[in-house]
Copies of this chain bind each other. A is one copy, B any other.
Amino acid sequence: MTDEIDDLAGLRDRLRAFVAERDWDQFHSPKNLSMALAVEAAELVEIFQWLTEAESTVLDADRRARVEAELADILVYLVRIADRLDVDLLQAAAIKLEENARKYPAERVRGKALKYDEYD
């Protein structure tokens, strides 16, 4: 029976308690947390590095379990660092999406994967 987590605020609170019980706040500077996040992101990359793109879309049970565990780790560190720096992740994402909508107008970038400064 896994204790459910309802939303990002719920996860943030569970993590606060987890860290406090272990006295791990001393290690959780934003600098260190950014390193931990990058390490987990690389562990996700490692699962896919020798697969073709097509293979990466259809995972066997073992790879799927590893992917789920890495995605969870990434979310955990992302929520921790946002908490340490008092960032509202969903609001930041909403702002980012509006910027991206301006930088990448659908009619200009359709079907093309360039950076916004590469469009002519």
Contact = CB atoms under 8 A, between A and B. Distances in A.
Copies of the chain in the assembly: 4
B4 A32 contact: no
B22 A104 contact: yes
Contacts of A3: 94, 97-98
A96 B69 contact: yes
Nearest to A113: B50
Nearest to A51: B31
A53 interface: yes
Given A22-B106, A57-B30, A37 B74 contact: yes
Given A87-B68, A113-B27, A97 B18 contact: yes
Contacts of A113: 24, 27, 50
Given A4-B91, A31-B53, 11 more contacts: A3-B98, A26-B111, A27-B113, A31-B48, A34-B44, A41-B42, A41-B74, A67-B85, A68-B95, A71-B81, A72-B96
21 contacts: A2-B95, A5-B91, A5-B94, A7-B7, A7-B8, A22-B106, A30-B56, A30-B57, A37-B74, A38-B42, A39-B43, A44-B81, A50-B113, A59-B85, A69-B92, A72-B89, A72-B96, A74-B74, A75-B78, A75-B92, A78-B78
